[in-house]
Amino acid sequence: MMNCKTSRAIWRFTISTAIASLTPGVALAQASVPDDQQGAQESGADQVTSEPIVVTGTLIRGIAPAGSNVIGVSSQDIEATGASSTSQVLSTVPQVGNFFNALPAGVSPQAGANASNPINRPNLRNLPGANTSGGAQTLVLFDGQRVVGAGIQQVAVDPDIIAPGVVERVDAMTDGGSAVYGSDALGGVINFITRRKFDGLQANARYGFGENFKSIDASVMAGKDWGSGGFYLAYGYSHHDSVFGSDRDWVKQVNWDTGIPTGRNCAAPNVTIGSTSYVPSGSGITAGGPNVCDYSDSVAIYPTSTLHTVFARLSQNLSDSVRFDVTALYANRAIDAIGGTLGTGALGTGATGQATLTIASPYYRNPGDANAGQSQVVRFDYSPLFGARSATQETDLDTWRIAPSVSVELGSDWELSALFSYGRANTSFRNAQISAAAQSAALANGSLNPYDVGSASTALASSLLQYARGTGRNELFDYRAILNGPLFTLPGGEVRAAVGYEHMQDNFRRQTTNASTYVFQDPTSYTQKVDSVFGELQVPIIGYDNAMPFLNELTLSASGRYDKYNDFGDTFNPKFSATLRPVEWVAIRANWGKSFTAPSPVDQLGVLASTVQTVPAAFLRTPSGVTAAPGETGLFVGGTAPGLQPQKATNWSVGLEVEPPFIQGLTLNASYYNIDLSGTIGRPVTSADLTDYYANFPQLYSVRPSGQELAAYLTQFNPANVSFTVVNPTSTSQALISSGGVVSPVLVTLDTRSRNLGTAQLDGIDFSAKYVLDTRIGSFDASVSGNYRLSQKSQALASLPVSDDLAFNTPVFRMQGTLGTTIGSLRAQVIWNHTSGYKRGNVEFGQTRVSSFDAINLFFKYDVKSKSALTDDLSFTLNVQNLFDVAPPEFRSATGIGYDTTLGSAFSIGRIVQLGVSKKF
């Protein structure tokens, strides 16, 4: 029996869909029609096909979505990128703002981030908070279907679980997609379309090399197409080395005024007595120094990654009216990162190498001056014991999925399709740390000599070196049925509709070690269920049969989706779209809709998993007017704040596509988009630069809290997730904490937990142009595409002023241009990627602006044409990435490593040359 609330929801959905059929939409689109749909673009009504072709942005079979902006990347484009992973394919799309003109490493670049966000998630429109919330803001699909996400403190689809060679094309729909697909499509949808069939055997291999770098990727695909169906199996492998800070001279952590490295926890210890600095000299110490080291030398700026993928597909027409299809995939990705040297105090590496020695200590060294007998503070690192690259951070992602589907033609061009998919993703991390408790005990009992840590016994080394570990297991069950076909015929063509139901169940389980004894805590789990009904209507008012002068086509579309969650409630999201062609070669497209992102199971568990860790003041930017005193430390709070709600968005766009008949081969596109976000889920801190955090979230940090205040604040956290103890919990004086045997006054507490962050409004322009010229000697082509962000205003709290997010620290313009030619068997192409510079919000070392970044890439392919079995279907490729070996723009920062590590900024490890060969049998 249907309850009243569900009845009202379905009635509301029905009414909205009916009204939508009579209401013109407002906004843009360029529908990207794949090669196998060319010739079916006269109007919405003329694009119907019974072939099982996946079209992004619509539920209705075989038509291009009215009014939607879909950007396509073809298999030829993918090959030209030289990408060895799907993430690298996305780095060629300017609208994927956090990947473009960069080299996605598969994990956030922040040290220790694999414990929270082990997946570098694509972010269309570069929406705020997209890489810090538990759920995604850009929905990633495979063949129009949802895929299981992976993670531990975040859950997101890992694009790299499918190899580029299996992908036929990539569609990026840059409008909100919740009316069709449900949650997570605030910024749009990225849909990887895989090959339907393959016949034969094909092998590919490619070797890449650069300065202190090499990579290899290979794949093999075998299949059989027997007409009524087909089967193929594909395996892919890729591996690349790490690139360390010491491998690139532009990576540095220095005082930019003097050029002197800022590291003081070094292999050669530093000593302070009061305000006087000393360095070891023989068996004593002498005033002077300090000894310095560059912490960035041992950091893997591009970590080692090894990826295995397997993909299989079976399709079969069971009868003239029944089609069966099943896909299966398995992927394993291992990332081995190095966060530097243990003991330096870098976030996520455990205790800082620091000891306070009194004259009673057997290791006390007499300075031989007026400070003789005074306590001395010794700072050191653990490189003599564990090596300079000892802060290892290992991540392993293991994913598999199976998705059978069946489609039945019911007659009168109606079709019923049903899909079931099950996926499981297992994620684990293992990060080396120095145990604060073991270090404290070793310093207290005299078994650890801070002046000579390399002399530690094997047993002591084993107790000091511990591993923070965690596992996450995510299961996704998805059941979906869609009925679609024509309703009736108007003068402009057939009115077509689709309706459907979907049930999803997401089971998430997480287990991590505690911050003190490194033993696994009890696992926590959460199950989220959602039931959805949805529909779409496409109405061709004007079409081929009733076209008139200056009105060749007018197609209206409406869609809507009602989602009911078992935890936070329900939501309804509509979308209205229109396509108008005044003449055949001009299309005006528009759409308006609402989208949302539901709090994920990870978000719901985040309160229990919240942690509080120490961060040395040397690694922190202090609030304005606050100067850190010697020995002060910061406290860093991570996890999720309670009371999280869905984030919502209203999207609209309008655009124009022109294919002038008087310039054959030219296509022009431009579109304006506008997104209004509310309740954005994310962390208030996204990088080491805390300037915006201090300005926007005064209620989330506390400067020099009292012991009483700090003790009361910590009562909301699990004690096992707090890496220190409060020494003076009843005092009204400045809080003192003990960590690793070191007592430190607290400078500032930073609450960076994910939460609803207020509102944001942004708009911008997408554009593209392509020209193809065919001549007797060959074909020549040129293209340009890009994104320009016009504005982005946000308000973290209603009580705070609106801030201009694009004024500082944000590139606003991204563009890709290509020039190519195909002459006989040779394809040659040059690609220019441009990311604009930006102003610094916090001027450091006199730097007010960060420069733009331009990378030139080359691609060559030669197809051997021969009747010989050995050389037929043989191809050779050459890719050169970053031809001129341009370094990322210099970014001067007291806490940074010489370049901007914020996602969305340009990045490259230098020139990489790739040689490839492909053979089909």
What residue ranges do the domains of the chain occupy?
4-245+303-338+394-433+467-606+645-683+756-920
Amino acid at the residue 847: Q
55/37 Cα distance (integer angstroms): 10
Question: CA-based Rg of the chain, rounded to a whole angstrom?
Answer: 29
Q: Which of 818, 895, 783, 892 is nearest to 848 (CA)?
A: 892
- Other Cβ atoms closer than 10 A to 422: 16
Tokens of 206: 């490619």
Long-range contacts of 228-231 (CB under 8 A, 24+ apart): 228/316, 228/317, 229/314, 229/315, 229/316, 229/317, 230/196, 230/197, 230/198, 230/199, 230/313, 230/314, 230/315, 231/312, 231/313, 231/314, 231/315
155/15 Cα distance (integer angstroms): 35
778/910 Cα distance (integer angstroms): 33
Q: Cα–Cα distances in Å, from 756 out to 67, 420, 620, 753?
A: 31, 33, 24, 10
Residue with tokens 């509509």: 574
β 874-881/701-703 pair status? unpaired
Element (H, E) at 794: strand 779-795
CA–centroid distance for 744 within its chain: 36
813-834, pLDDT tens digit by residue?
Answer: 999 999 999 999 999 999 999 9
803/808 Cα distance (integer angstroms): 10
Alpha helices in 546-612 (DSSP H): 601-609
Residue with tokens 């009483």: 708
Tokens of 767: 């554009």
445: buried, middle or exposed (CB in 10 Å: 19+, 13-18, 0-12)? exposed
Contact 560, 18 (CB under 8 A): no
Q: Which of 108, 91, 109, 89 is nearest to 100 (CA)?
A: 91
SS3 296: helix
Strand partners, 466: 433
CA–centroid distance for 451 within its chain: 43
What angle (nearest 5°) sits at the alpha carbon of residue 67, between those of residues 126 and 164? Answer: 55
| CB proximity list for 648: less than 8 A, separation 6 or greater | 571, 594, 595, 596, 677, 678, 679
Cis peptide bond N-terminal to 290, omega within 30: yes
Tokens of 92: 């060629």
Element (H, E) at 540: strand 524-542
Q: Which of 34, 71, 83 is nearest to 190 (CA)?
A: 71
Tokens of 439: 């270090």
Tokens of 449: 């000599």
Amino acid at the residue 682: G
Instruction: Name the pTM for this structure.
Output: 0.85
Tokens of 25: 């939409």
Q: Cα–Cα distances in Å, from 453 out to 49, 338, 446?
A: 72, 21, 12
Q: Cα–Cα distances in Å, from 485 out to 59, 165, 496, 655?
A: 10, 33, 5, 28
Domain formed by 4-245+303-338+394-433+467-606+645-683+756-920, architecture: Beta Barrel (2.40)
Tokens of 312: 């299989």
Q: What is the pLDDT of residue 117?
A: 64
- Other Cβ atoms closer than 10 A to 916: 19
Q: What is the pLDDT of residue 522?
A: 87
β 188-194/138-142 pair status? parallel
Q: What is the pLDDT of residue 651?
A: 94
8/10 Cα distance (integer angstroms): 6
762/675 Cα distance (integer angstroms): 5
481-523, pLDDT tens digit by residue?
Answer: 999 999 999 999 999 999 999 999 999 999 989 878 899 988 9
Contact 882, 213 (CB under 8 A): no
Q: Cα–Cα distances in Å, from 44 out to 493, 553, 554, 577, 852?
A: 8, 9, 9, 12, 42
Q: What is the pLDDT of residue 187?
A: 85
Kindly provide the b/e burial profile for residues 762-794, where b requires at least 16 CB atoms within 10 angstroms of the residue's own CB: bbbbbbbbbeeeeeeeeebbbbbbbbebeebeb
104/89 Cα distance (integer angstroms): 10
Low-confidence ranges of the chain (pLDDT < 50): 1-51
439/445 Cα distance (integer angstroms): 10
886/89 Cα distance (integer angstroms): 20
Contact 657, 589 (CB under 8 A): yes
Q: What is the pLDDT of residue 841?
A: 87
921/359 Cα distance (integer angstroms): 78
Q: Which of 49, 180, 125 is nearest to 557 (CA)?
A: 180
216: buried, middle or exposed (CB in 10 Å: 19+, 13-18, 0-12)? middle
Sign of the Cα pseudo-torsion (618, 621, 626, 632, in order): negative
Tokens of 683: 């962390």
β 742-751/633-638 pair status? parallel
Q: Which of 166, 222, 226 is nearest to 196 (CA)?
A: 166
Q: DSSP code of 413? A: T
Q: DSSP code of 9? A: H
Q: How many residues does the chain have?
A: 921
Strands (E), 133-275: 138-142, 145-146, 167-173, 188-194, 200-210, 213-225, 229-240, 243-244, 254-255, 260-261, 270-273
